[in-house]
Amino acid sequence: IGMYIPDEGSISFLGNPVKIENTQQALRMGISMIHQELSPEPYMTVAENIYLGREPVGRLGLIDKKKMVADTRALLERLEININPNAVMRTLSVANTQMVEIAKAISYDSSLIIMDEPTSAITEREVAQLFRMIRTLREQGVGIIYITHKMDEVFQIADEITVLRDGQYIATVPAAQTDRNSLIAMMVGRELTNLFPKEDAPIGEVVLSVRNLTRNGIVHDVSFDLRRGEILGLSGLMGAGRTEVIEGIFGIKPIDAGTITIMGKEVQIKSPTDAIRHGMALLTEDRKLTGIMGVLSVRDNMMIASLESYAKAGFLNKKIINETCAREKTRLELKTPSMDQLIRNLSGGNQQKVLVSRWLLTVPEILILDEPTRGIDVGAKSEIHRLMSKLAQEGKAIIMISSELPEILGMSDRVLVMHDGRVGGEFARKDATQENIMRAATGQGEVAAV
């Protein structure tokens, strides 16, 4: 789409050789893209975002806002997206922001639409809705390049599957003529015998106790315990309140009622700084917005939360910092040409490894991982799962928020299910099934004995 100029190779589009030098040229040719990292204009409305740069104008050359809103409403209704065209983007959830980005790409009436991880932040109902859109577009002759790491989606929607690994083309195969294991082997260059390498760890004493946590209108009377060596899976549908609970515990957003007890002592956590001082660490849901600092190096991103530990008399010990970074690079199998590389140039999986390392260097006792494997390849997922299991065996207490049920079922010792801002169910590993979790997530479940 012209974001980068290739050094070699050729591109043909609709049977003709083309040279695409910028994204505007690609759009004029009939190629649009839904980007993995959402980038709306936050203070503009939904309609203004969708038609940015191509607003309809009236006879006097002024923007015809009435027509723009009407066109947006018609587009959203056609796509079965229930969002107000006049809503300001910053007020939307991540899931609704994603749906607006999808609608924007489709609005260009392109011959080719590239979708990069379009389902990373939307619910199962919205995924089904998106797949209906894709099938309709395919019937209309629109070509779709669908980029994803989710195996189930590949086999649901694709006619052909192309595998890339480390920037190299590996193979293209008809979807009907391959299977999950063969595809994974092509993706990682080896057979992955266990996608969820969860090993039993000794479960110790309670390290975190939350009682009646309430954020008015958002979270209601949430209570749970977290034990040493335990991975507690936090499940639920989008908007159920999972991330909001974590924001309250970590001091990102104030709580209106409830208590938090760490290591047997009731604590007041008013800010993330307080949480870190009490031995907590949080890997946030949105890697781009609240995780990486794209203009800084891999080294700076890795060390920024623990720099005080490497300073003496106001000066940083660069030798020890470099040794620490080298050790972390080896431990996490981080792929980067240099620790001086800008982190924004790394793959999503390698960016996530840097963020995990950042928090591990603070030596936390409680590690909160919000969607830790969203938007990363299957090999990096397995590596992060293996690290989680190892940390639990070392006695770390882990909360894992995930929208992927296989991940919840495969990695959790216990599962807490959120529904409408409340605890809708709680299940021991042996009782945690997809059916039980989905019933609890939709308000039909009961809290099982744990």
d(CA 191, CA 291): 31
Average pLDDT of the residues in 201-223? 93
Residue matched to tokens 């047997």: 264
d(CA 103, CA 130): 10
The pLDDT of residue 194: 62
* 412 neighbors 395 (Cβ within 8 angstroms): no
* 390 neighbors 369 (Cβ within 8 angstroms): no
Residue 304 pLDDT grade (very low, low, confident, very high; cuts 50, 70, 90): very high
Residue 300 pLDDT grade (very low, low, confident, very high; cuts 50, 70, 90): very high
The pLDDT of residue 287: 85
The pLDDT of residue 422: 93
pLDDT in tens, 235-277: 998 778 998 999 999 999 999 999 999 999 999 999 999 999 9
CATH architecture of 206-441: 3-Layer(aba) Sandwich (3.40)
What does each C-alpha distance from 21 to 36, 109, 165 come to in angstroms? 21, 21, 25
Residue bearing the bigger pLDDT, 440 or 184: 440
Average pLDDT of the residues in 82-111? 89
Classified as helix, coil or strand, 174 is strand
11-147 shares its CATH topology with 206-441? yes
Mean pLDDT (the chain, rounded): 89
> Is 3.10.300.10 the CATH number for 11-147?
no
The pLDDT of residue 196: 76
Q: In angstroms, how far apart are the furthest CA atoms of the chain?
A: 73
* 281 neighbors 304 (Cβ within 8 angstroms): no
Residue 299 pLDDT grade (very low, low, confident, very high; cuts 50, 70, 90): very high
d(CA 118, CA 131): 10
Average pLDDT of the residues in 33-41? 82
The pLDDT of residue 44: 95
pLDDT in tens, 57-89: 988 889 999 999 999 999 999 888 899 999 999
Residue bearing the bigger pLDDT, 187 or 305: 305
Residue 449 pLDDT grade (very low, low, confident, very high; cuts 50, 70, 90): very low
pLDDT in tens, 319-337: 999 999 999 999 888 999 9
Query: Domain locations in the chain?
Result: 11-147, 206-441
d(CA 392, CA 305): 22
